[in-house]
């Protein structure tokens, strides 16, 4: 059985991560998909995904983070800001 964790509000002074959906990889690994919302631009500037783990194999192979920033918003460090926020959530998911 897959265990989901509600991320709640993940934000700082510049960006918010808004949960878009949760996918399941190989019937076991939750993939949390977030919109990256810029407070300065008041717009969605991309998205970030976090694959969490449930076994040691998935920890080694599947635990990772991916992102995309829309072209017109590149150069503002939104991927870095989103990664810092999603890493906090990864720790809540017991990822190292």
Note whether residue 78 is domain-resident: yes
Note whether residue 4 is domain-resident: no
Note whether residue 60 is domain-resident: yes
Domain that holds residue 84: 15-92
Pair of tokens at residue 38 = 């810029």
Note whether residue 8 is domain-resident: no
CA 37 to CA 3: how far, in whole Å?
26
Note whether residue 5 is domain-resident: no
pTM of the predicted structure, to 2 decimals: 0.86
Note whether residue 79 is domain-resident: yes
Question: Mind listing the pLDDT tens digit of every residue in the chain (96 residues)?
Answer: 677 889 988 999 999 999 999 988 766 778 899 999 999 999 999 999 998 866 666 666 655 889 999 999 999 999 999 999 999 999 988 887
Pair of tokens at residue 8 = 């709640």
């Amino acid at each position: 059985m897959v265990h989901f964790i509600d991320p709640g509000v993940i934000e700082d002074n510049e960006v918010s991560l808004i949960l878009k959906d949760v996918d399941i990889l190989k019937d076991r690994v939750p993939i949390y998909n977030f919109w990256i919302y810029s407070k300065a631009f008041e717009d969605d500037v991309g998205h970030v995904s976090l694959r969490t783990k449930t076994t040691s194999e998935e920890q080694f192979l599947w635990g990772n983070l991916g992102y995309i920033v829309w072209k017109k918003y590149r150069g503002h460090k939104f991927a870095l800001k989103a990664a810092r926020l999603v890493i906090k959530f990864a720790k809540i998911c017991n990822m190292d």
